[in-house]
Every structure is written in C-alpha cells, then in structure tokens.
Amino acid sequence: MSAIKARRRRRMVTALVLGLVGVVALPAGLVVGTNSLLNTSGGKSIDQTPALQIPTTPAGLLVGVNESDEVTMMALLAIAPGAKGGTIVSIPVGANAEIPKSGEIHRVADTYKTSGFDAFVIDVEGLLNVTFSVAAKVNTAELAAMLAPIGDQSILIEKEAINTELDGTDAVVLSAGQQTLTPMQIAQGLMARKTGALESDRLSRIKLLWETVAKAIPMTSVSPSTTQTTRSTTPVIPTDIASFFAAVISGPVQNWQLTGTFVSEPQRNPGPRDLYDLDGGEIIMVMASVVPSSVTAGSAMISFLIDSPFTDARITRQAVLRLAYIGANVIVVREVPGAPAAHTVIKYNDEIVRSDLELFTTLFGPIEFNKTDERVEGIDAQLVLGEDFRAFIGSAQGATISTTTTLVGS
C-alpha cells in the first residue's frame, strides 16, 4: 500500500472510531448538482451493456500565499457538470497530514515551506482523496483580480481582521461592522493572518467571505439544462487557476468549509502547533458529492455510489464511514428525492462481486441484494439507503463498530 493510500485509510478509520456521533449538516443544495450526475442513456461498453456515465467534475486547488511566503488560505474549486458554476470548499491550512509509516504529524501548509509547492499539492491530494486538474498559488492582488467579477459586496464583519505585515507590524485589513467590501478587501480578508493567532479564530471569517462570494452569483445565471451532460458534449477543463475560478463563478456557486478540530493531545501535538484534525467522513461525503470524477480510489476494494433519500447528512455520513472502514471506495454520493424505502438495497451488475458485498451486512444491518443490467462506469455497486439502515444505526447493535473488526485490504 502506498504512503498516500495508507494515510487515507488511517484517517478514515480514525474518523470512524472517534467521530461516530459528530454532526455534519450539509447546506441546502450542496448535493443537488450531483442528483443528475448520471446520464440515463450513457455510452455503451464493449459488451454492449448500457453504461451510465459520471460526467467530468474537475477539481482545482487555489492556494493563497502572503508576503512572507506562507500559505494562509486554500480552497478546493469544483466545477459543476456542464462547466458552469460549482462549489468552493475552504480547507484549513493547519490540517493534520499524518504520515503513518513514521507516525509523524504535520500541518499540511508546512509541507510547502519544507518541501515546495509540488509536494504540498500531493499532500493535499492525499488529504482530500482527489486528483487536481489545476493547482496554483496566488498573492492578494491576484486573488482580488479573480474576484473582480463579483463587484462590491455588502457584508457584516463581526470581528476585525488583522494581518501581520512583512515588517512584523499588525495592520487592520477589515474593520468590524456592516460595510461594503471591494474585491481587494475580500481578498485581504481571506488572506489575513496574524502571527501567533490560531487559525480557528479566523475560520468563521473565511467561511463568511466565501459565502459572500457564492451569494454574489445569481442562482438563475445558468439554465437547468446546462447542468445535464450528454455523450456528445465534453467540457473543456481550464488549464490555469484564473480560468478555473472563472468557470466556477460563471454559474450558481455553493460553498462549504471543512471542519477542523484542534489537536490538543501533547503526545500528538507537542508545542503545541496550530494543528487540526479534519473529519474523514465529511471529506469523503463532500468530495464524492461535488467532484466525483476527481475522487481517487484509496484501495483495490469495491467502489460504491451512495443514493441517500435522507436530508439528515448524519445518516449519509454513517454510510460513508462504514464503507470506508471496511476498505471500500466511495466515489459518488447523491441526495435523491422522495421518501426513503423500507429496505436498504445494494444493486450490482457483476455476480463476481456478490460474495464481497456480503461483507457489508455486518455494518449496515439487513440488506437486499438486487442484480441489475444497469452499470455505472467506475462503480461496482450502488447503495440505496432505506429506513432499516436508519433504524440499525440507532440500535444498540448498530450504534458502534468494534475496533477489532478486520479491515479488508489493510
């Protein structure tokens, strides 16, 4: 197993064992873009079995670097199907990027200082379990130029934003209170970092500023038909970060900020450093919702598409974590309309994988297995959550998972 794959597995297992009761509340509409991800009349495979397609959903990495050449902001940019609009996912720069082989933990932003930008990008790809089509660093002026199309925006700043300048002095870049901000001021607020201050103190401001950017794009700027993919249309993926960002803000924009929990244990974080554990289940769920075609399979095990009729993201997260725990890959997560069916169903196309699918019953409770002729390229099985899964995870038997359970592929 490669170092990156091992890191992904360890992070997901830790998230499951330690974070089963964590709450992840997906914002309304986050997974709406993936509800129509799969064509109902996709291409044909060699054996002529109809194959549904996962359309191109490229991921870009936008990295903000200050005058001291420190990473102070980073965001995953996701272009929606149809190449108009998308999602901005804010990532804590102090995220824990543990190397399991040595047991060393470090801030992902520190990789940039110690090993350079290319190594930093690889570290973030391992952290998020995705492959970036574009990755680039920008300064404040360059970020402001990218934000220029949204114009000035009215916003309520609850706490002033302070930035430590190159000469070591602190400067207020955003005052507290209701005000109208220019694209340059929004960029300054996103990039601002006071030396010695915890990143957790500024995450709420970063979230607010990205929300402001998202809301500045009219939701009616793209007609519904442009979010549908066709066999004859292949979107052109931008090759530079400015064009990539322009594609994201050319249509409806959603935003999301990954949860970071400060690492307070002295044995894991001596010093302590400004270090944060991310929620592995949240990462899988969000990445599989907004950039499924960019998700990298972390193991040789079965790859899943999850359909969840539940509006409570905690239920979907439970399914994601349980699949990851046993070593499966979660490639696509969709929120589907309608009331949940009584039973949880796994649909599969290849009889060879049926015996492997039987492994999942211990973590999901009762499951119905349905063989189907319908296939999704890159997907081995489709999990459709039902009411019996919600009942199972709420029961004494299903509420917790034994840490002695054998991990397939470990």
Categorize the per-residue pLDDT at 298 as very low, low, confident or very high, splitting at 50, 70 and 90.
Answer: confident
CA 227 to chain centre: 20
Q: Using CA atoms in the order 391, 396, 400, 406, what is the torsion angle rounded to 10 degrees?
A: -100
Give me the residues paired with residue 278 across strands: 260
pLDDT tens digits, 57-111: 999 999 999 999 999 999 999 998 877 899 999 999 999 987 655 557 889 999 9
The number of angstroms, rounded, from the C-alpha of 58 to the middle of its chain's C-alpha atoms is 12
Query: Using CA atoms, how far apart are residues 6 and 99, in angstroms rounded to an integer?
Result: 8
Contacts 24+ apart (CB under 8 A), 164-167: 164/68, 164/193, 164/194, 164/195, 165/67, 166/67, 166/68
What pLDDT, on the 0 to 100 scale, is given for residue 99?
62
Exposure string of 352-366, with b = 16+ CB inside 10 Å and e = fewer, is ebeebbeebeebbbe
Question: What letter would DSSP give residue 400?
Answer: S
Compute the distance between CA of residue 114 and CA of residue 119 in angstroms, rounded to an integer.
Answer: 9
pLDDT tens for each residue of 310-335: 988 889 989 999 998 888 999 999 88
CA pair distance 180, 284, nearest whole angstrom: 36
pLDDT digits (tens, 9 = 90+) for 47-67: 334 567 788 899 999 999 999
Average pLDDT over residues 280-291: 90
Provide the terminal-to-terminal Cα distance of the chain, rounded to the nearest Å. 8
All residues at 6 or more sequence positions from 385 whose CB lies less than 8 Å from its CB, including other chains: 306, 307, 308, 309, 310, 315, 316, 319, 340, 344
- d(Cα 162, Cα 148) in Å, to the nearest integer? 22
Angle at 62 between CA 56 and CA 66, to 5 degrees: 175
Average pLDDT across the chain, whole number: 81
Distance CA 313, CA 288 (A): 13
